[in-house]
Amino acid sequence: MNRYALIILPVTVGAAAVAVNLIVYSGRRIAIGREYYEHSIQTSPWAQSYLKQGGTVAIKKRRISGAGVFFSILSILAFLISLAYVIWRFFYLDNPALY
């Protein structure tokens, strides 16, 4: 196997894991949108009159799932392992002064 392939492969795997982490945590944008939605309900005259007339507005509370935390930790570990491998590969194996 080509030596550059051995370097590119773990970096690609680590970058893919970080990308999965970002996709999993993109739900945080939804939570920010919900907070804005709650604020607009509290400040809108139309919403206030609707609520006074007996209308209800249901806002679901979102929590970060256990899978999100798991993939976050997994992606950070994969990235750190791939980074350590690249550093070891470049600075230890390819350094003739260490032999």
Task: Give the list of residues 6+ apart from residue 92 with CB closer than 8 angstroms, or none.
Answer: 98
Residue 74 has a pLDDT of 76
Assign 3-class secondary structure to the chain: CCHHHHHHHHHHHHHHHHHHHHHHCCHHHHHHHHHHHHHHHHHCHHHHHHHHCCCCCCCCCCCCCHHHHHHHHHHHHHHHHHHHHHHHHHHHHCCHHHC
pLDDT per residue rounded down to tens, the chain (99 residues): 566 666 677 777 777 777 766 666 665 555 555 555 666 666 777 777 777 777 666 555 555 566 666 777 777 787 778 778 777 777 776 666 655
pTM of the model: 0.39
**CA atoms of 74 and 13, how far apart (whole Å):** 12
Indicate the residue type of 83: L
Residue 5 has a pLDDT of 64
Residue 41 has a pLDDT of 64
Residue 14 has a pLDDT of 72
59 class by beta-carbon count within 10 Å (0-12 exposed, 13-18 middle, 19+ buried): exposed
